[in-house]
């Protein structure tokens, strides 16, 4: 019974990651090799910095929403 509970929690967690969440704290980050800046934001789930227009967080897999709405 405990294993079923863990499996259910894993499924719920995986499904929650698929619902897009708005990126937090957008800011420019300089790419040292080029001197150009790219827009970056923080993942709303784990706080990892994510380059603009990435659809998923590289660290936790959360689907991201970059819209300005």
The structural domains of the chain, with segments of one domain joined by +, span 2-65
3 vs 39, more confident:
39
**Which pTM value belongs to this model?**
0.75
**In this predicted structure, what is the pLDDT of residue 22?**
94
For 15-37, the pLDDT digits (tens) are 888 889 999 999 999 999 899 99
SS (H, E, C) 29-61: EEECCCCEEEEEEECCCCCCEEECCCCECCCCC
- Residue 69 CB partners (closer than 8 Å, separation 6+): none
Question: Does residue 49 register a pLDDT over 60?
Answer: yes
């Amino acid at each position: 019974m405990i294993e079923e509970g863990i499996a259910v929690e894993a499924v719920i967690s995986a499904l929650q990651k698929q619902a897009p969440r708005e990126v937090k704290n957008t800011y420019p980050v300089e790419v040292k090799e080029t001197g150009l800046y790219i827009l970056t934001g923080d993942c709303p789930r784990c706080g990892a910095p994510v380059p603009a227009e990435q659809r998923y967080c590289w660290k936790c897999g959360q689907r991201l929403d970059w819209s300005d709405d």
